[in-house]
Amino acid sequence: MARVFVTRKLPGTAVDRLKAEHEVEVWPERLPPRPGDLRARMPDIEGLLSILTDKIHDELLDAAPNLRAISNYAVGVDNIDVEAVTKRGIPIGNTPDVLTEATADLAVALMLAIARRLSEGEALVHRGDWLTWEPTLLLGRDLHDSTVGIVGMGRIGRAVQRRVEGFGARVVYTDVSGGVLLEQLLEQSDFVTIHSPLTEQTHGLINDETLAMMKPTAYLVNTARGPIVDTKALIRALNAGEIAGAALDVTDPEPLTGDHVLLSAPNLLVVPHIGSATHATREAMADMAVDNLLAALRGERMRHCVNPQVYDA
């Protein structure tokens, strides 16, 4: 029986399966463990089930001499220093595939919401300003017959493609494996939707220069990772009317404080990182994360491992 720390309460019954085999502590608070709280537990634990807000780096790993496995409750592992963990021979699990459809659904929902001005319409009704039907009230733009530019044609990008083509949209994409140049995509697209992982190459990919390449009638949608978009550049572009609007499920910083300057920008919709937030998806993610951890603690290969070279070594 190993000692395991789970850094947040998870939906479903997956953690019960973990507890049936190991000694498990689950962080009970709504906010994540502070760095000191996480570090204090590291000397004794053999398994860590982390989430995307937990920063796993060299200093933390130095305090964890018994750590045998990390299972990240996310597809991305940009919260983890993968190289540092791999050097220690520790496998890292993630949760691919299960959140593809839910995140693609939200990306399309954000396109429709920002282009059809849904939050503005709801606010107008709640203010009591809905006085009559008006031919020019809250005119938006169409998803059908538009061009959707997909930045990153992985699982989620392809799922978005299937959806928007069903709306009658044309798709262009850019990806490390092909497609058009980013500059061409930005110039052609009525919607630019981001589905790339956060890497050194994609950090700040959407910036002053690239935003200036977009149509003034185009919308930016980000359901990937916040730092792919330069927040200050986006604020400038929205305030200057360089683009028609933006809809974000992820931000930089994240979370945003209620008084953050980004939230005062016009034509902006922000939701709190809910791309995978359906009952079925989040429970499936928990099952996969627990399965990864159980396998590693049994000495077996993780089914979903982002650094499989630890097994080769």
| 8 included as an active-site residue | no
| 122 included as an active-site residue | no
Query: 147 with 190: CB under 8 angstroms?
Result: yes
- Helix H segments across the chain? 14-21, 35-41, 58-62, 82-87, 100-115, 118-127, 155-166, 182-188, 208-211, 231-240, 279-297, 309-312
Selected catalytic residue, list 195, 273, 282, 304: 273
The torsion defined by the Cα of 219, 104, 252 and 210, in degrees rounded to 10, comes to: -40
| 273 included as an active-site residue | yes
> What is the C-alpha to C-alpha distance for residues 37 and 55, in angstroms, rounded to an integer?
12
Selected catalytic residue, list 23, 120, 187, 254: 254
Selected catalytic residue, list 225, 242, 282, 304: 225
| Edge-to-edge strand list for the sheet holding 245-248 | 178-179, 170-175, 147-151, 191-194, 219-222, 245-248, 268-270
Q: Is the peptide bond between 255 and the residue preceding it cis, with omega within 30 degrees of 0?
A: yes
Residues known to be catalytic: 225, 254, 273
